[in-house]
Structure 1
Amino acid sequence: MIEAEKITLEEAVLIGVITQHQDEKKAEEYLNELAFLTATSGGKAIKRFVQKLEKPHPKTFLGAGKLEEVKAYIDARNVGTVIFDDELSPAQLRNIEKILECKVLDRTNLILDIFAKRAQTSSAKTQVELAQYEYLLPRLTRLWTHLDKQKGGIGMRGPGETEIETDRRIIRDKISLLKKKLQTIDKQMGVQRKNRGKMVRVALVGYTNVGKSTLMNVISKSEVFAENKLFATLDTTVRKVVIKNIPFLMTDTVGFIRKLPTQLVESFKSTLDEVREADLLLHVVDISHPNFEDHIESVNQILDEIDSADKPMVMVFNKIDAYTHKTIDKDDLMTEKTKDYYSLDDWKKSWMNDLENESIFISAQNKENIEEFKEKVYEAVKNIHIQRFPYNDFLYYEYKEEE
């Protein structure tokens, strides 16, 4: 039997900082997420460097001593990629590359790279390409020095691979063309939304990799791509769903993430319009993730940025099958019961209790509490129908499956 060819992952070193706005615990959480992003992009994080700074150095982000420490490590291990957890300015990027003499990426570059890898449709590809060019425009000098060294890998997908594309005028022309193309796409998607009639629109929103697509598959009985990686879904998927006698449209949207690049928020306007125009939001949360509360805050912040924070919302706490917590011995009277020791019942009695009937705990993977979830969505959609069609009494929405 012929052995399968062993895939060699691109090794990378991760860089984070501890500042007055980001303590040690938060920096560690972000680096954990950066490692997951690196793995999603096809790499492997083998080392982390963290420096405590009042604020990042304006020229080199890190201090000179820490950069020398990083250089010594990557030279000894022959590591070709260093990834910073924060967005680097064009000047910082150039200066760091001169010192480290390797490929230097930042969090924004890495997320754009994953989006480029995941984009399938013309719409998604156009949106990602625009975001990439807008990110690259002020960083063109970097491409001149590394053009002959580019061999693909993390951060090298998409535009910027030929010398002529590093010309500022050509890049600006390309951005202009892509914006016009997106305007056409926006109009087409707007027409599609209008053609959907007056059915209630329900949008699944949430942090990336919380199980939105899996839930979509369970509820709509469709086959939406779902994978345990970040940004598995880029393209908006809309399905007609019927619960009892009411049909409605359910939309699966791109997952959010902390420090989401502003270029992506702007270029994915047409995708986010599905959220803006939704009548009801289902905010899906991976309750098994240790930082799920931060994820909720990040999603709410983005919803606020796109003027969608005040929409009717149901909190859907997913992955209860994977939830674990620490336990305290009954004779232990010294250990404080922090959130690490909370059971699901403890969480339900916490701030979640204030949500009253606006939350549900499920496992989309194991289809646990799905019937209760459907009932809650039905009631929410029904309330919207009553407000919109007070005299209709649902006669118009009686629905029979086609044989």
Structure 2
Amino acid sequence: MSEIALGGRGTANADSVFSPLTVALMLVIGILGFAGSLLLGAYAPDLRSGHDAGTHALSNAATGFSGIVDLARATARNPRLIRAEAGWDTEDLVVATPEHGSVDMSRFMAARRGRATLIVLPKWASVPDDAVGGWVDVSGLLPAYDPAAVLAPATVMTVSRHPSGARPLHPVRWAPPSLAVSAPRPLQVMTSKALTPLVTDEAGRIVLAQVDGSNTYLLSDPDLLDNHGIRRLDRAGAALDLLDFVNATGARGIAFDVTLNGLGRGHSPLKLAFEPPFLAMTLAIVVALALVGWQALVRFGPAQPPARAIALGKAALVDNSALIVRKAGREGGLGPRYAALVRDRARAIFGVPARLTDVEADRHLDRLQGSATFTALVADAARAEHRADMLASAQALHQWQREKTR
């Protein structure tokens, strides 16, 4: 009684607080949130837009290089972005724009050995503009030792800055004449014994150089390529001619690397679960979990009340006794006992004198009209040896008793 009462109150409270609709909404929101967190965790590096005011090919800031990418695309130079180290293995010209000299360039240089590569040295120290997204506030020039360390220690060079007065640069005679563009202010230059000058200022200081014995090129001043530098038409044309000039292999595309700027796509084991060929296994697991959840939510068949470990009442006693007899294989020996039980009940019902013996009582009961005599039925019950015989004789005795008591 106490269990039923407590269970009834608990059910009422559960129905009022956690209705089926509430539970369904909680499950849907939880599943969608979990799946969304997995997807974002796997693809978060790939979803970064790069609008962080950095000095890379995705940046729209003055010190970024998205403008030259758009310009190259508009002039059919087939630009593309490299967001994984595997993209370094290409014959196209690769333009790298490391933001500091501390960036590890060893793997990049090893992958680009013998292939046309342009490395643009950093120049400006800037911070993102809090007022306008994607803009920068230039706080000054980087220390000269910062860009000088881009290829250190393999290539040792010295970087310096000088007032240029916007005077024209001096390219070598086989370079495009458009490279004789006015110099940025101030002009960042470099000097090194390992560099072959291709473009210099009026004092002979190097602006564009080729690393001796390789197809690697260094551009000392990023203002010749960045968004701020190519805002003028002559600078934009010179920037495109510069890219064509250093593309020594004659490849038909230009690749701008952003992995050195921290915008590469990471190799996440979680991402494998959402890409072929493992996507099929992921979908199979999701379907299996959905079927398990459906089976847990939807009942198959009527509700079965829990059974007691120890049954109570006369019915349980009868069932247990019958089970013991059945286990012992003695059902056939119950015929005489059942006949004696019917005789005792008939004595009381029909007023058989108590002084009569069982045989005399059976003859007395035979006088009652019916389809069979009681003596014959008792004899059939006494001869029963098997379960089927005992059941048939018991049914006959029960039927005799019902006929006489109607």
TM-score by length of 2: 0.26
Larger Rg: 2
Higher relative contact order structure (alpha carbons within 8 Å, sequence separation ≥ 6) = 2
